[in-house]
Structure 1
Amino acid sequence: MSGQVLDRVDQPPTGVAEDPGGFDLRAPDGTRYRVDLTTGALDPANPLLAGYLGARRVVAFVSATVDRLYGDRLRAYLDAHTGPGQWTLHVIPTGEHHKTLAAAEHVCALAKADGLDRHGVMLAVGGGIVADVVGFAASMYARGVRYVKVNTTLVGQVDVGVGVKTGVNALRTKNMLGAYHPAHASLNDPAFLGSLPHREIRCGLAEIVKMAVILDEDLFSTLERHPDVFRRPGGDGPADPAHGELETHVLRTSMRLMMEELCPNLREHDLARLVDFGHTFSPVVETAGGHRLEHGEAVAVDMALSAHLARLLGLADDETCARVVGLLRRIGLPVFDPDTCTEDLMAQALHASWQRRGRKLHLVVPTGIGKAAFVEELEDVPEEVLRAALRALAADGERHDG
């Protein structure tokens, strides 16, 4: 009946629901999206990606590496599931130096030249940078069009691929410009991880360690027992079914933890976020170092520094700090960077975070394995404590180098 107000009691509850094929998220603000776990994502016999693309115009974007490894398969898939002239594909540069507003504008220009309309879809196949740039372009293009992510890196699958943030670096600041723009679909295929170099695996593990430290002691213990969980010698698949099950357990647990933590605060109305563990000092470590360290490596340095601060502030015991730093080292991640881990730069990082987070520090520090707390004020981290933490961090780094 016209004008009828419908009863909303039949609306599904908010939260994250897990099923064998992935995860559904429904946020309190009504935002809904799904992250799928699949195998053979680019196999023409797998209809999952095609179902999300539908009969829409598709403009696809990949990195040079993804084009070399999977370009032929992606083109064959699009040929098999879309009509003639329905899709185009572009190779775009990656790396933090290319994560810029100009790069997002270039994606928009290519989409416009290809005739992408408001009903079309941008398809991003690659790691976090491709997803960030294409996702931000999609949020701007014609005031917002659909985009689909096929996440090919471990960082992409456990971090970028499960959230709604897009963005680029600008004004000498990491992710200064961006938008909350949920993907139309986000697909994770663990088989992609088999082609990753060890450095990329380590960077993804840094984000998994982050979630384990703040939320899940069992996951942390699993990583302590298996710090090489995603390493596949020779780029082959898992050596045996048990190892494959271990990979799946770690991947699914990390995805679920991240989505559950994001869900109540999806658009960050509350700037105190546990998932910002490892993300207070790391932006300066990355930018001041000219992006010599990958994002996950900078996050590892940040987590190690934050663990030492927690110890020195009496918020965590010596064992907690030693286990966090020790796990990072066993994985092969850096815990100290002499060029950027200076008292001056790290104090600048604290001030920049305080300013960005509404003049509250919201520094996340571990209080135990699987537990964390916030240090809220700049004055709560005295200069002498920061200095002592950096000295301890340098000593950890020297032991690692030795």
Structure 2
Amino acid sequence: MERINVNLGKRSYPIFIEHGILGNISKIVREYFSGRKILVITDSNVVDLYARQLAAGLENEGFQTFVEVVPAGEASKSLARAEDLYNAALDHRLDRKSAILALGGGVVGDLAGFIAATYMRGIGFIQVPTTLLAQVDSSVGGKVAVNLPRAKNIVGAFYQPKLVIIDPDTLLSLPEREFAEGLVEVIKYGIIRDEDFFRWLEQYIKNLRQNTADLVHAIKRSCEIKAAIVSEDEAECGLRMVLNFGHTVGHALEAVFGYGTLLHGEAVALGMVFEAKIALNRGLIDERTFLRIEGLVKSAVPKDLPHRPDPDSLIESMSFDKKNLNEKITFILPERLGRVGVYSDITAKEILQAIAP
């Protein structure tokens, strides 16, 4: 079993990675929780695959377990859906020693974490991510949120889980499109922090799904990089902002096209290419570096825009980004492979040049 620690003082927690760990999850959870009740929040895609097996295991360990299912997809990250889950928590009589377990992808993790952070001002939270994107990114670091129609993740909190349990076997049931979107976040770590990892991905990314040892390495290295960044900057006051490379444009694309038109990772993939293009046009990186970034991203997600977005709508959506300060849109731009910088002086003209056909 691989174990990575997210070092946050009293809020520190482990990330466990192992094939088949889902079958033994109840014993691990018992080590970290003394309460009796666990509310499992999952979605309509995952419930029949893993939720019932997991709930049965928790029941056998002595937990009183309840399962609440939300529709799969970004639309479930809403205040209306959150209210439904608050009421479910009340119906099940969850108390402050109870825990909420997120079983699913990033949407479920963000939504369940938001409930855990705010129900009774915070109860126990466990992340059991079942998608590659969630395993390497959203399950680690404690960002929890719901969307508003005009802005993604704008209502949320920093709320760390007590533990993260990653079973790569859950990726066997993942559709190819969703596996591919997770690769985007894996690539991001190489660009922002580890040139050697980026180079390794250039060689091995095409066979990651078939090679279990390489897949575990990619998950582990991604989690190590994110854990190190979060340990230095839990509340995104500085360094942690680098994790948002590709997300300024990516989140805006999701909002403009309507949540669900593009998968989150697909939107971020496009955002990474567009933001690398801004860096190229600014002279921060050379053309060879840009082409390597573009090539690796497109080898994972060969996606194009559904249609050209309205420029004003796209820039307006970016203006709601959480990273913005003093009404200036903030971008994370590559300066070389393995290093990025924070820029708040990007003009509308530069943005439009980058997304132009």
Q: Secondary structure at the match of 1:117?
A: coil
Is 2:241 the counterpart of 1:270? no
Q: How does 1:46-125 map to 2 (within 5 A)?
A: 47-82=27-62, 86-125=64-103
8 Å CA contact 1:320, 1:367 repeated in 2? no
The answer for the alignment partner of 2:300 in structure 1 is 331
Q: 2:1 matched to 1:32?
A: no
Paired position in structure 1 for 2:274: 305
Q: Which amino acid in structure 2 is aligned with residue 23 of structure 1?
A: I
Deviation track 1:87-119 (CA, whole Å, cap 9, x = no partner) reads 222222231111101111211111110111111
Structure 2 equivalent of residue 347 of structure 1: 315
Q: Match of 1:269, as an amino acid?
A: C
Q: Give the total of aligned pairs.
A: 356
Provide the residue aligned with 1:163 in structure 2: 141
Counterpart contact for 1:153–1:196, Cα < 8 Å: yes
Structure 1 residues 271 and 256, CA gap change in structure 2 (3 angstroms): closer
Q: Which TM-score applies when normalising by structure 2? A: 0.92
Query: Is structure 2 residue 342 aligned with structure 1 residue 374?
Result: yes
Structure 2, unaligned stretches of length 5 or more?
none
In structure 1, the partner of 2:4 is: 23
Question: Is 2:42–2:102's contact at 8 Å kept on the other side of the alignment?
Answer: yes
Decide which moves more: 326-335 or 303-312. Answer: 326-335
Q: Distance in 2 between matches of 1:256 and 1:223?
A: 16
Which residue pairs with 2:173 in the alignment?
195
The one of the two structures with greater contact order (alpha-carbon pairs below 8 A, sep at least 6) is 2
| Rg (Cα) greater in structure | 1
Contact 1:203 1:296 in 2 (8 A): yes
Q: Conserved in 2, the CA contact under 8 Å of 1:167 and 1:176?
A: yes
Identify which of 241, 245, 249 aligns with 2:217.
249
Residues 361, 388 of structure 1: CA spacing in aligned structure 2 closer, same or farther, 3 A cutoff? Answer: closer
CA drift at 1:80: 1.8
Report the alpha carbon displacement of residue 30 of structure 1 after superposing the two structures with TM: 5.0
Q: 1:355 to 1:198 in 2, by over 3 A?
A: closer
Unpaired runs of 5+ residues, structure 1, are: 1-19, 232-237, 395-402
Given candidates 127, 142, 167, the residue that maps to 1:149 is: 127
Query: Which residue does 2:285 correspond to in 1?
Result: 316
Contact 2:234 2:240 in 1 (8 A): no
Identity %: 30
Q: Under a length normalisation based on structure 1, what TM-score does the superposition of the two structures give? A: 0.83
Specify the SS of the correspondent of 1:221: helix
Q: Distance in 1 between matches of 2:134 and 2:58?
A: 22
